[in-house]
Amino acid sequence: MNAITLRVKNAPGFRVDGSKLLPAILAATTVSDLPRIMLQGAGETCAVGDLFDITQADADKPSLTIDGDARWLDRIGANMTEGTLNVHGHAGDYAGIKMSGGELHIRGDAAGFIACEMQGGRITVQGNAGDFAAGALPGDMEGMSGGTLAIHGNAGARLADRMRRGTVLVGGDAGDFAASRLIAGTVCIAGKVGAHLGYGMRRGTVLLTNAPSSLPPTFTEGGRGFDVFWLLITRMLAREMAPFSNLAGNVLPRRYAGDLAVDGRGELLIANS
C-alpha cells in the first residue's frame, strides 16, 4: 500500500471535482499514472499533476494527504469506503458526501454540505463547517444515515437536516434550524444555537450544553428513565471533544419532547441549566 501526499502548487480559477482522489484508488495507481488522472472542473478538465506536487511512501493501509488550501476542491472523500484522507488546510463543498467507511480529517474549515447523506465512517473538522452539514441534498428525503461527524468549531444553518442515523458533534455554535426535520440519530452542540431549533423534529436526540435563548413552543418538558443513557453518552462525549468533558453523568439534564407539531417523539436535553 502507498501513502500519497498531494501538495497544492497551483490553485485553478474555477472549482474542481475531487471525488476521484480516494486513498484506496490512488494507492492502486502506478506512479507514472498519478499525474495524468483527470479531474473535472467548471466546463474543463485538469490533470492532478498540474495542480499538485506528488510524493509517495510505503504504508500498511491506504492513505492520502492533501496539503494546502484546497477550498476550491469539492467532493473530497465522496463515496469513500476505506482508508484515511487528511486535508491539511481548507476543503470545498460536499466533503465526505455519501461516504460509507474510512476516515476523513480536515484541519481547516469545510464549506457547505459536509457529510451530506453520509452512511458510515468518521469525519473530523478542526475548524468551522458551512450550511447543511450532515444534511440531505436538495430534493432528497434523508440526510446522514450513519457514522460520526465531529466539528470542533462552528456549524452553519440546517445542521443535520433530515438526519436519520449517526452522531453529530459540534464544539462551537450552530446556526438556524439546527436538527430540523430530524428523523433519528444524535446531535450534540456545545455552544449556542440559532432560531428554530428542532423544527419538524420527529425522533432522535438533541443535546445542548447551553440553554437556548428561547425554546420552541411545540416542545414540552418532562420524561424520566434515561439515567443509564445519560451516563453512557456523557462518557462518550468526554472522550470525543473537550467542550463536553465537564458534563456530569450523575446530574440529569432537563428533558423536552417534540416537535409536537408533527407528532414528534424526539428528545431535547439541556445540560448545565
Higher pLDDT, 213 or 189: 189
Mean pLDDT within 169-188: 97
Question: Is 53 inside any structural domain?
Answer: no
Q: Residue 113: what pLDDT?
A: 98
Please state, in angstroms and as integers, the Cα–Cα distance from residue 39 to each residue in 35, 36, 47, 164, 223, following that order.
Answer: 11, 9, 6, 32, 53
Question: Is 30 inside any structural domain?
Answer: no
Q: Residue 107: what pLDDT?
A: 97
Mean pLDDT within 47-59: 90
Query: What percentage of the chain reaches a pLDDT higher than 90?
Result: 81
Among 83, 82, 140, 78, residue whose Cα is nearest residue 115? 78
pLDDT-derived band at 16, boundaries 50, 70, 90: very high
Question: What is the number of other CB atoms lying within 10 angstroms of the CB of residue 228?
Answer: 9
Beta-strand runs (E) in the chain: 2-8, 16-17, 38-40, 45-47, 52-58, 63-67, 73-74, 84-88, 103-106, 122-125, 145-151, 165-170, 186-189, 205-208, 220-221, 254-258, 266-270
Grid cell 449517526 is found at 166
Mean pLDDT of the residues in the chain: 93
Question: Is 84 inside any structural domain?
Answer: no
Mean pLDDT within 57-69: 89
Question: Is 64 inside any structural domain?
Answer: no
Q: Residue 272: what pLDDT?
A: 74
The answer to whether the CB of 189 falls within 8 A of the CB of 170 is yes
Cα distance between the two ends of the chain: 51
Buried b (16+ CB within 10 A) or exposed e, 141-170: eebbbbbbbbbbbbbbbbbbbbbbbbbbbb
Question: Is 38 inside any structural domain?
Answer: no
Question: Is 93 inside any structural domain?
Answer: no
* Cβ neighbours for 88, distance < 8 A, ≥ 6 positions apart: 65, 66, 67, 68, 107, 108
pLDDT-derived band at 1, boundaries 50, 70, 90: low
Q: Is the pLDDT reported for residue 30 higher than 80?
A: yes
pLDDT-derived band at 225, boundaries 50, 70, 90: confident
Structural domain that includes position 184: 112-270
Has this prediction a pTM greater than 0.85?
yes
pLDDT per residue as tens digits for the range 100-140: 999 999 999 999 999 999 999 999 999 999 999 999 999 99
Query: What percentage of the chain reaches a pLDDT higher than 70?
Result: 99
Question: Is 134 inside any structural domain?
Answer: yes
Structural domains counted in the chain: 1
pLDDT per residue as tens digits for the range 194-214: 999 999 999 999 999 999 988
Joined together, the cell numbers standing for residue 163 give 438526519
Question: Is 129 inside any structural domain?
Answer: yes
